[in-house]
Amino acid sequence: MDASEPRPPAIILVATQLPENIGAAARIMANFGLSDLRLVSPRDGWPQERAWAMASGAEWPLNAARVCTSVAEAIDDLQVVFATTARPRELALPILTPREAAGELATAAATGVRTGIVFGGERAGLETADVALCQAVVTIPIDARFKSLNLAQAVAINAYEWKMAQDASAPAAFLDGPGPASGEAMLGLYGHLERELQTAGFFHPPEKTPNMVQNLRSALAKARFTDQEVRTLRGVITALSRGRGRVLEKIARKAGEAE
Amino acid sequence: MDASEPRPPAIILVATQLPENIGAAARIMANFGLSDLRLVSPRDGWPQERAWAMASGAEWPLNAARVCTSVAEAIDDLQVVFATTARPRELALPILTPREAAGELATAAATGVRTGIVFGGERAGLETADVALCQAVVTIPIDARFKSLNLAQAVAINAYEWKMAQDASAPAAFLDGPGPASGEAMLGLYGHLERELQTAGFFHPPEKTPNMVQNLRSALAKARFTDQEVRTLRGVITALSRGRGRVLEKIARKAGEAE
């Protein structure tokens, strides 16, 4: 990769069942100039010889593959991450074709932003909680009459569109302003907000908490906050929740006066 | 397939070595609405169980596959046929990307013209004599550093582009989900947040308030919240700044006990 070339998206494979599919994904990644492979909890463990056998010589993505135990961990250094899934979700995330997604990723990468695409396992796909960590959903326009798409084929189409977007892209567009915050910074923001909301009794009834958390995360993810904005919002959360302290003190004081 | 839908291109696989690749090709054809499969001299003969095993249920292209002994025979009923090959040929044929090819095939098919795409074997590719039977060459934009492209992946990219060409000419496929909230709803959200932040003493020093307000608004505006999300966030602001239900009840109860 030239220093001048934008960094291609990381490919994050979640709960992959067949090492063969990981190998086939590595091969097609190499075909289109991608190399950053991350594996979240591959079913059969890692490394697996069958992956190398399927890669037909495209060994470098496999040799350098990072193994993680959660999507959150796998994307912690990435700033723009899309989730590939065929299923409509209850999340209000933008739905992109692979072509639209590649356009957005290319634009982001051209300004030095680190990007990634997440793919679910062969059978179950992605958990909604993991999709909620992403800024958009990529849906391949599969025929409704036969939806069973091979994992490596899904990687192929997205990697191909990335390459097409590169080939089409003239010198990078007007790059300005800071890029989006890292996944880690966003998780910090979510955690802070959710702790304070928990304290404030917001999550009610309790069994709805996971859904409420997901909807909040996906709403905020869409904004692609910068690091500065994340800091500001954490200040907002602190101010509002301390302010609550003062409001409550005032109530308590009044109650005391009433004694 | 509707009677009104244009007939998708036939996929012609020439001298394929692995039945698994034929099965994988059938599967991806089904994913994108293609079904007309033709096999020219498959190395191991035909039928082969391993093809069906790889098709994951996409059996109809395999069941109906026509086996031929030459490319000429396989394309004898087709009017526009393109050859997929990575190699530059001495033939003065137009070189198309899969996208350009799909556009041409879609245009032809829309007028009732019968079309096809020819793919060579895993190792040797297509004979020049067979390419010469075609009207154009389709070249997938493979990275020069790793050219070994799996056959079914080559079929995938062409089939995907066919589907995209169809979708482009149809009414927008997936416009869905609620649109962004109105400017009025967003102003309501901003006003609510800013009043509570004012109460909490967030805007400090006071002369910086207009700038701080602007930065907050522009950060939130980027998310294009839906109406539902705006309602949720207003609940978040209320909870953070006032607490919700139980917290206040607890205070009230304590105050009551103290009385």
Q: pLDDT tens-digit profile of B142-157?
A: 999 999 999 999 999 9
Whether A110 contacts A169, CB under 8 Å: yes
Listed range (A6-20, A129-143, B172-186) with the worst mean pLDDT: B172-186
Q: Which of B156, B228, B255 sits opposite A156 (nearest CB)?
A: B156
- Most confidently modeled range among A163-177, A192-206, B47-61: B47-61
Which strands make up the sheet holding A115-119, listed edge to edge? A66-68, A37-40, A10-14, A115-119, A80-84, A136-138, A95-96
Tell me the chain B residues in contact with residue A97 when contact means C-beta distances shorter than 8 Å.
164
Interface contact flag, B56 A225, Cβ < 8 Å: no
The residues that bridge with A136 in the sheet, in sequence order, are A82
CB pairs under 8 A between A and B: 216
b (16+ CB within 10 A) / e for A11-40? bbbbbbebbbbbbbbbbbbbbbbbbbbbbb
Please indicate whether, in this complex, the C-beta atoms of B259 and A258 are within 8 angstroms of each other.
Answer: yes
Q: Do A219 and B202 touch (CB under 8 A)?
A: no
**Residues of chain A contacting B240 with CB distance shorter than 8 Å:** 196-197, 200, 202, 237, 240-241, 243-244
Identify the three-state secondary structure at position B82: strand
Closest residue of chain B to A34, computed from CA coordinates: B143
> If you measure CA to CA, which chain A residue comes closest to B176?
A95
- Residue among A57, A58, A201 minimizing CB distance to B239: A201
Mean pLDDT of B77-90: 82
Q: Within its chain, how far is the Cα of B150 from the centroid?
A: 19
Closest of A145, A157, A158, A139 to residue B34, by C-alpha: A145
Check if the beta carbon of residue B135 is closer than 8 Å to that of residue B82.
yes
Q: Taking 50 as the threshold, does the pLDDT of residue A247 lie above it?
A: yes
Higher pLDDT, A226 or A244: A226
Residues in Cβ contact with A27 at an 8 Å cutoff, skipping those fewer than 6 apart: A54, A55, A56, A57, A58, A152, B148, B150
Give percent of chain B above pLDDT 90.
59
Q: Looking up tokens 């096809």, which residue turns up?
A: B116
Confidence of residue A248 (pLDDT cuts 50, 70, 90): low
pLDDT surpasses 70 at A107: yes
pLDDT reading at B20 higher than 90? yes
Residue length of chain B: 259
Residue A89's pLDDT band (boundaries 50, 70, 90)? low
Q: In Å, how far from its chain's centre is CA A154?
A: 16
User: What one-character-per-residue DSSP string does A94-162 give?
Assistant: -EE-HHHHHHHHHHHHHTT--EEEEE-BTTTB--HHHHTTSSEEE-----TT-----HHHHHHHHHHHH
pLDDT > 90 in chain A, percent: 71
Q: What are the pLDDT digits (tens) for A154-166?
A: 999 999 999 999 9
Q: Do A153 and B152 touch (CB under 8 A)?
A: yes
B198-225 average pLDDT score: 85
**Least confident segment among A21-25, A101-105, B16-20, B88-92:** B88-92
A176: pLDDT strictly greater than 70 = no
Provide mean pLDDT across the span B196-206. Answer: 90
Sheet with B136-138: list strands edge to edge: B66-68, B37-40, B10-14, B115-119, B80-84, B136-138, B95-96
Query: What contacts A7, CB < 8 A, 6 or more positions away?
Result: A1, A36, A109, A112, A114, A115
Inter-chain contact A141–B220, Cβ cutoff 8 Å?
Answer: no
Angle at A14 between CA A8 and CA A16, to 5 degrees: 110
pLDDT category of residue B249 using cuts at 50, 70 and 90 = low
pLDDT (0 to 100) of residue A242: 85
**Whole-number pLDDT of residue B178:** 66
pLDDT category at B167 given cuts 50, 70, 90 is: confident
Q: What is the mean pLDDT of residues A141-158?
A: 95
pLDDT at B248: 58
Q: Give the whole-number percent of chain B exceeding pLDDT 70.
A: 86
**pLDDT(B253) > 80:** no
pLDDT of residue A174: 33
Least confident span in A37-51, A201-215, B53-67: A201-215
| Whole-complex ipTM | 0.78
Q: Tell me whether residues A196 and B141 touch, CB distance under 8 A.
A: no
The conformation of residue B204, written as its DSSP 8-state character, comes to -
Residue B170 confidence (pLDDT) above 70: no
Judged by average pLDDT, the poorest of A13-22, A57-66, A221-230 is A221-230
Query: Percentage of chain A with pLDDT > 70?
Result: 88
Calculate how close chain A gets to B233, using CA atoms only, in Å: 8
Residue range B25-40: average pLDDT?
98
> pLDDT grade, residue B210 (50/70/90)?
confident
The mean predicted confidence, pLDDT, of chain B is 87
First to last CA, chain B: 77
**What pLDDT sits at residue A175?**
36
CB-closest option in B32, B176, B240 to A200: B240
Domains defined along chain B, listed by start = 10-167 (3.40.1280.10), 183-258 (1.10.8)
What's the whole-number mean pLDDT along residues A237-258? 75
Q: Which of B31, B250, B259 to mutate to test the interface with A (most CBs of A within 10 A)?
A: B31
Average pLDDT over residues B16-33: 98
Whether B202 sits inside 8 A of A235 (CB atoms) is yes
Confidence (pLDDT) at A153: 98
Q: Quick check: B176 pLDDT over 50?
A: no
Buried b or exposed e, range B108-145, using 16+ CB within 10 angstroms:
bbeeeebbbbbbbbbeebbeeebbebbebbbbbbbbee
Whether residue B40 is predicted with pLDDT greater than 70 in this model: the reply is: yes
| CA-based torsion, A123, A159, A42, B54: positive or negative | positive
Which residues does chain A have within 8 Å of residue B248's beta carbon, measured at their own beta carbons? 248, 251
Q: Which residue in this structure is represented by tokens 């075609």?
A: B134
Q: Could you say which DSSP state residue A69 is in?
A: S
Nearest-Cα distance to chain B for A41, in Å, is 24
Of B148, B164, B244, the CB nearest to A204: B244
Q: Testing the interface with B: which of A153, A155, A192, A229 to mutate, by most B Cβ within 10 A?
A: A153
pLDDT at A101 over 50: yes
Contact assignment for A240 to B30 by CB distance below 8 Å: no
**pLDDT for the residue B89:** 60
Output the six-digit token pair for A79. Answer: 């700033």
**Residue A177 confidence (pLDDT) above 50:** yes
Q: Is the pLDDT reported for residue B171 higher than 50? A: no
pLDDT for residue A93 = 87
Residue B2's region, left for phi above 0, alpha for psi from -120 to 50, else beta, is: beta
Q: What is the pLDDT of residue A258?
A: 61
Interface test with B, best of A247, A253, A257 (most B CBs within 10 A): A247
Contacts of A156 in chain B (CB under 8 A): 153, 156-157
CB atoms within 10 A of CB B107: 15
Neighbours of B45 (CB within 10 A): 10
CA of B223 to nearest chain A CA: how many angstroms apart?
A: 4
Q: What's the average model confidence in pLDDT over B208-217?
A: 85
Task: Using an 8 Å CB-CB cutoff, list chain B residues near A142.
Answer: 31-32
Per-residue model confidence (pLDDT) at position B243 = 81
pLDDT at residue number B230: 93
